[in-house]
A and B are shown apart, each in its own frame.
Chain A
Amino acid sequence: GAGVSQSPRYKVAKRGQDVALRCDPISGHVSLFWYQQALGQGPEFLTYFQNEAQLDKSGLPSDRFFAERPEGSVSTLKIQRTQQEDSAVYLCASSSPTRDRVKSPLHFGNGTRLTVT
């Protein structure tokens, strides 16, 4: 596709429910990032994949958060036993392979807005 695609766009969950958020990166992008953005704040890093390998998960706030990218393309962020403090926009980003991957800008999707009631 032309850009990073995330689904669903909106998700309402009752406290204690499990949710799964999907990210389709730009075709051919090897790096994939998940961020959490609270209202009025900048995005906060959650986790990073290079192909199927999860290289950094230092930003995941608790063991209720789990991310996977089994075939190095589509990624899923799963939140178990959701709590009200999990309410936020979850952004996915991917970056293109260049000689210096660190210099490649991140291209973001429009996010999934999660509301936990």
Chain B
Amino acid sequence: EDQVTQSPEALRLQEGESSSLNCSYTVSGLRGLFWYRQDPGKGPEFLFTLYSAGEEKEKERLKATLTKKESFLHITAPKPEDSATYLCAVRRTTGKLIFGQGTTLQVKP
């Protein structure tokens, strides 16, 4: 059965304290791994898509990496405005996304 597991469920960091979020997955027919950011009361906002093991993508303080079984979202020197829930999702050949439960990040000044 397709499954996406994110850890930790919650993460509290001091401003400037770098860390990583994990997304492990089991899915047949993977057609990409997606990272989204979700702010309270808003819909998920697209960040990255990764397609093959070894691939990396960067955007400002965020870098996403992919292996055959997991993906990491590295946050370098985070700021309070990076506080949000980060969602990982995998896409099957049918096109639909299967989401993990998310990691809620809080960055304190």
Q: Which residues of A contact B (CB under 8 A)?
A: 4, 31, 33, 35, 40-45, 48, 56, 59, 91, 93, 101-103, 105-111
- Which secondary structure dominates chain A's binding surface? mixed
Task: Please give, as numbers and ranges, the residues of chain A lying within 8 Å of B51 by CB-CB distance.
Answer: 103
Instruction: Give bound CA distance, A48 to B97, whole Å.
Output: 10
A111 x B99 contact (CB < 8 A): no
| 6 extra interface residue pairs, beta carbon distance < 8 Å, beyond A42-B4, A48-B96 | A4-B43, A42-B6, A48-B95, A102-B32, A102-B91, A102-B95
Task: Please give, as numbers and ranges, the residues of chain A lying within 8 Å of B49 by CB-CB distance.
Answer: 103, 105
A45 x B97 contact (CB < 8 A): yes
A45 x B46 contact (CB < 8 A): no
The minimal Cβ–Cβ distance linking A83 to chain B, given in whole angstroms, is 23
